Amino acid sequence: MDFGLSRQQEMLKQAARQFAETRVGPRVREADEGGDFPFDLVQQMGQMGFIGLVNSREYGGSAMGHLARIIVIEEMARVYPSLGFFFQAGNLLMYALENFGNEEQKGRCLPALCKGTKVSAFAVTEQSGGSDPSAMMTMASRNQTGYVVNGRKTYITNADVADLLGFVARSEGGFSAFFVEKGTPGFEVTRREPRAGFRCIPVNELSFTDCHVPPANLIGQEGRGMAAALPTISAIGRTGAAGVALGATQGAYEGALKFCRERVLYGKPISDLQALQFMLVEMNTDIEAARWIAYRPAVLLDQGKTVKDLGVEIARAKLLTVDVALRHCLKAQQAMGAYGQSPEYRVEMYLRAMLELLTAGGTQEIMKVVIGRAITG
Ligand SMILES: Cc1cc2nc3c(=O)[nH]c(=O)nc-3n(C[C@H](O)[C@H](O)[C@H](O)COP(=O)(O)OP(=O)(O)OC[C@H]3O[C@@H](n4cnc5c(N)ncnc54)[C@H](O)[C@@H]3O)c2cc1C
């Protein structure tokens, strides 16, 4: 399926596929078992131009757009879902600064983030519940020189390795969005969550204790932080989750298909057994449907539709692709018998990773809440 990809997008897809297969593929087991963040691969992805696809040229991006970004995420996740997930969170602050930051902030932060020489994270969730960000307790109080921030955030992707952390806090007039640099006194990453899914991408708890944030690090207007954070989570976090789910399902399907063609039982490849053929057919068909629904909001964003207009399309894309991924990554394992459990065949990795997408970027139930509100009026 080409979805009418332009020549430039087609070339990007080929470059991403080649990078994923030749540079990422040989590293998957080591990265997944070791759990270390692959700084060198991120830098190489930056050099290849894969990270700043939705950022403007003026600030180090390529402005190739949202569909280009989804294509790259899909290709990375097909080989190694964790590397696709890097983009899901790693592009959040980049988008928030590009769309809501001022020129000074963009010039200061974006070129290194696009190049992959710096990494960012974006923190909204607190223990009070990610689905209800209005319950957050982190507080930014104004003083003569800026803001004093106190509070904690939890389940924040990349925080441990980030040079820049965007976050939302309560403030005068509502909520405000800010960013801090690594090493700012009073800002500390306090815990790495133990997880089985995207193992080489850290997810952390962090705290602010009388942390001084200068006014120059306020993103957008004071009191309008949610107006920056919510579209960012939708346009980048949810679309990114859909891209990761799509690529991972494709990877699991290809692994199962290869295995079924090679595995011989009763004197024939098991791909000749109709029960297994039907499994493969269902995967193949649902992946195609998932690809259309994942690409659609990206295409519409590239055509100039606003994130607000596309909330339902984006929620549908996340809901359906993650649902397809969970069903079919499990089926791929099932089709391989005992070998489906073996890390040597890699297929088990896809299902482990997909479990995290039930929640990351907003839960499946929250996607249904968004769609439900729209269809019931
Ligand atoms: C791998 C991973 C990475 C993450 N990275 C980030 C990050 O980088 N930055 C960040 O800010 N956050 C991040 N998160 C947090 C994520 O956004 C939250 O986990 C998510 O929003 C859900 O919040 P919660 O876990 O507190 O669950 P809760 O909000 O407590 O929800 C608990 C249950 O209640 C259900 N529920 C809640 N409200 C409703 C409703 N109205 N109707 C029906 N059911 C409902 C939920 O679906 C869920 O099943 C990450 C999470 C994971 C797992």
pLDDT-derived band at 4 (thresholds 50, 70, 90) equals confident
Exposure string for 241-273, b = 16+ CB within 10 A, e = fewer:
bbbbbbbbbbbbbbbbbebbeebeeeeeebbee
Looking at the fold, whether 165 and 82 belong to one and the same domain comes out as: no
Looking at the fold, whether 233 and 218 belong to one and the same domain comes out as: no
What's the confidence (pLDDT) of residue 369?
A: 98
Q: In testing the pocket of ligand 1, which one of 93, 95, 127, 131 has its CB within 8 Å of the most ligand atoms?
A: 131
pLDDT mean across residues, the chain: 97
Determine which residue's CA is closest to atom 2 belonging to ligand 1.
360
**How confident is the model over 15-31, as a mean pLDDT?**
96
Q: Residue 26 pLDDT > 90, yes or no?
A: yes
**How confident is the model over 250-265, as a mean pLDDT?**
98
Looking at the fold, whether 100 and 126 belong to one and the same domain comes out as: no
**How confident is the model over 81-107, as a mean pLDDT?**
97
Summarised one tens digit per residue, pLDDT across range 207-217 is: 999 999 999 99
Alpha helices, DSSP H only, in 91-223?
Answer: 92-100, 103-115
**Domain contains 161:** yes
Which of 173, 208, 223 is the C-terminal boundary of a domain?
223
Would you state the structure tokens that stand for residue 372, as one six-digit string? 């439900």
What's the confidence (pLDDT) of residue 282?
A: 98
Which of 188, 223, 258 is the C-terminal boundary of a domain?
223
Looking at the fold, whether 212 and 253 belong to one and the same domain comes out as: no
Q: Residue 1 pLDDT > 70, yes or no?
A: no
Q: Residue 260 pLDDT > 90, yes or no?
A: yes
**Domain contains 64:** yes
Which of 174, 197, 223 is the C-terminal boundary of a domain?
223
Nearest CA to 86 among 29, 26, 43, 130? 43
**Domain contains 1:** no
Distance CA(300)–CA(312), nearest Å, equals 12
Distance CA(302)–CA(71), nearest Å, equals 13
Answering whether pTM is above 0.85, one says: yes
Looking at the fold, whether 130 and 61 belong to one and the same domain comes out as: no
Looking at the fold, whether 231 and 367 belong to one and the same domain comes out as: yes
**Domain contains 54:** yes
**Domain contains 371:** yes
Domain of residue 300, residue span: 226-376
> Which run of H or of E encompasses 348?
helix 347-357
Look at the chain and report how many structural domains it folds into. Answer: 3
**How confident is the model over 1-29, as a mean pLDDT?**
92
CA Rg value for the chain: 21
Summarised one tens digit per residue, pLDDT across range 311-322 is: 999 999 999 999
Task: State whether the beta carbon of 128 lies less than 6 angstroms from ligand 1.
Answer: no
Q: In testing the pocket of ligand 1, which one of 87, 125, 206 has its CB within 8 Å of the most ligand atoms?
A: 125
What's the confidence (pLDDT) of residue 3?
A: 64
From the alpha carbon of 153, which atom of ligand 1 is closest? 11
Determine which residue's CA is closest to atom 3 belonging to ligand 1.
360
Summarised one tens digit per residue, pLDDT across range 281-310 is: 999 999 999 999 999 999 999 999 999 999
Distance CA(296)–CA(302), nearest Å, equals 10
Looking at the fold, whether 192 and 275 belong to one and the same domain comes out as: no
**Domain contains 2:** no
Looking at the fold, whether 170 and 268 belong to one and the same domain comes out as: no
Task: State whether the beta carbon of 365 lies less than 6 angstroms from ligand 1.
Answer: yes
Looking at the fold, whether 231 and 364 belong to one and the same domain comes out as: yes
From the alpha carbon of 89, which atom of ligand 1 is closest? 8
Looking at the fold, whether 110 and 210 belong to one and the same domain comes out as: no
Asked if 130 contacts 155 with a C-beta cutoff of 8 angstroms, the reply is yes
Alpha helices, DSSP H only, in 48-199?
Answer: 66-79, 81-90, 92-100, 103-115
Looking at the fold, whether 38 and 158 belong to one and the same domain comes out as: no
Question: Mapping DSSP to helix (H, G, I), strand (E, B) and coil, where does residue 363 land?
Answer: coil
Asked if 176 contacts 218 with a C-beta cutoff of 8 angstroms, the reply is yes
We report the CATH number of the domain holding residue 339 as: 1.20.140.10
